Structure 1
Amino acid sequence: MHDIRWIREDGAAFDKAMARRGFAPQAHTILDMDKQWRDTTTELQSLQQRRNEASKEIGKVKSQGGDADALMKEVADIKDRMQSLEEEGRALSEKLDAVLSGLPNVLDEDVPDGPDESANVLLRSVGGAPETNAAAPDHVAIGEKLGMMDFETAAKLSGARFSLLRGQLARLERALASYMLDIHTDEFGYTEISPPYMVRDTALYGTGQLPKFGEDLFRTTGDHWLIPTAEVPLTNIAAGEILAEEELPLRFTAYTPCFRSEAGSAGRDTRGMIRLHQFSKVELVSVTHPDKSMEEHERMTGCAEEMLKRLGLSYRVVTLCSGDTGFGARKTYDIEVWLPGQDDGKGMYREISSCSNCGDFQARRMKARYRIDGGKQTGFVHTLNGSALAVGRTLIAVLENYAEADGSVSIPEVLRPYMGGLEKISAEG
């Protein structure tokens, strides 16, 4: 959500910021609605004042035995007018909120301009020069040869874009999540949360998924939605709160399933586990002081990168351009892991994490604040989120990078304690 005071003070700057997002000028329309709402509010206040004065006059006239009929009619007329203005004010406020809530966050100045992912900027590549792995046509072939990845049964149960893992692959997925959670909690200071997997409209509105992206979500027959990411419940822990400055930053992590309709991805990534309706992630969320959010963004990205370093996986980090940055983000770093079995065995980088600084955009929607210097004045916190990591895609990366010529898969050394000491996954005999 945007600060209407900023738009009032500098509509040109607001329009310039929205132009970077591909939006036509909005300030004039917004300020017209804002003026109508303020005029309505001003009239309401004036009428309330006159109503109070007239009510006192009625009492005085009656106490003196006078005729108060005219004053009583005036009060009745004022009441009717006030009721009409209250309804008009609510409608104007809702209309203004709808416009503001449909506009994306303002980008940081150092976000590169560009129409789509082709304009993203490479920051660094980590891990040696990417190589193809002749033993890894792709994770589907590897998993099916092991007899532990079954898309046919998943389709029988749930339809397209679902997967079923068996045996040691199911355990490897669990091992990855447990390993990530242990590092983030024990070494990086995140508090583990086990959140609800269903939330109400207000939670999704707070993080920016509603109302704009409702078609990308799954809704129950009641009044709940399945979470598209643990970012939603974790960030909303701060919703409606006024935090003490010394409490910041709050850092949360959670391992949850995520549910997405993938409404805009028809025909994309239909093979394997790259893009599913249900997948799992270890999510990181930070709630920070505004002065610390840029520093926290770098820290969070480093925490996500550390998972890949310890797993021995090559990756790169890119800064998303204006046309590729998500709705609620001011700035986003994508971490892309090297998958040697993709692109018909030629290999390619694929996103495994997005780490975003949302500034006060979500906090304004959630009314998440902190108390400045322990006084009465409050300010909006800044919120950040990132995958660390998408567990299914990390599983894919391990399979395709650690596949052996005999069809087995070596287990990265850091995961072996979580696999009961097992060093290699081989086909079930």
Structure 2
Amino acid sequence: MENGRKNWVNGANGQEHETPSNITIKGIIGLLVANIDADEKRRVISLGMGDPSAYSCFHTTPVAEEAVVHTLQSQKFNGYAPTVGLPQTRLAIANYLSRNLPYKLSPDDVYVTSGCTQAIDVSLSILSRPGANILLPRPGFPIYELCAAFRQLEVRNFNLLPEKSWEVDIDAVEALADHNTVAMVIINPGNPCGNVYSYQHLKKIAEIAKKLKILVIADEVYGHLAFGDKPFVPMGVFGTVVPVLTLGSLSKRWIVPGWRLGWFVTTDPTGNFKHPKMVERIKKIFDICGGPATFIQAAVPNIFEQTEDVFFKKTINILKQTSDICSDLIKDIPCITCPHKPEGSMAVMVKLNLSLLKDISDDIDFCFKLAKEESVIILPGLAVGLKNWLRITFAVEPSSLEEAFGRIKCFYQRHSHQQKEH
């Protein structure tokens, strides 16, 4: 077993098995890259990290770049911003999100964060109390478990159902919740599954959350990146049914993950989060946390107002093309199957059939050997909560995607039971 894999599977002391709650996707990918043979001449192709800006077919709009240059050169935004965010930025985000809601958000509902990761941490921080638990989807985004561990929130996982387009197992949610449950997390469009929830399914989620007297944390970092039959519906539409915390960012839709501009928004028209003590608690957390750069915040109003639909349509068309390529190429590799064709976001989950492989023990083994032998990086399913599955990112230029799958097919043929012994 390679050293990198040992460090992950056995832990730093060689004994404890690490789980998604104590290792990040970036950490896993770093171990996979470190496992690549130093003598390998081929370029590394990563289908593991959801950073589309790494590929030339994905780039942000010049409007966004010009807005940032303008605010930087103005020399008006070199100082500290208010800890909750610049007033004009909060207003712009409120107006942007209100376009798709049956009510209007106020700037006071919006808190500007350093990417969606900080928004996740803030949401769990305000909910934490002794004995509390939170319901997280499986598979899901491992940062939630990491933040929950730091905040001493017990994690209870409910399954997403691959045979039902990765819908939430509503019955499981009801069975898991008790009087100490504070919230459930919904990621839509789905990371890592590439699903998009229908209006009716989101309504069922809101109704069960209301019945259980818990709130919904709606992770919509991939908001509007939907290219299937179902349009993106923000969870905040159901804010009058159940309190919703909406988390999002510029990162994916504008293809600028490195700008670290996100938001934490109380999409809660009934006013549950307007209680003075709750507002004070939220603001104190933001007093502790640093937000994104002031000049990036200041660019947001122009970015929202001036970005044309043609930019978004181009991104959606590319993602539709690459997701189709990904789905078609998966069919040519017998040891992996895709139960649900992606409809949104930038990733898909595929099932690994170990019975067709003669010397692969699990999904981690598959990914480490694939990296070493073929210089292709994909994420083991265990990292997102599903053992012997794989997460594949398709926000990659088509030629690189095709080359990567060609190498994965060679890897399968080399390790297949059907491979003749010499």
TM value normalised by structure 2: 0.27
Q: Is the radius of gyration larger for structure 1 or structure 2?
A: 1
TM value normalised by structure 1: 0.27
More relative contact order in 1 or in 2 (CA 8 Å, sep 6+)? 2
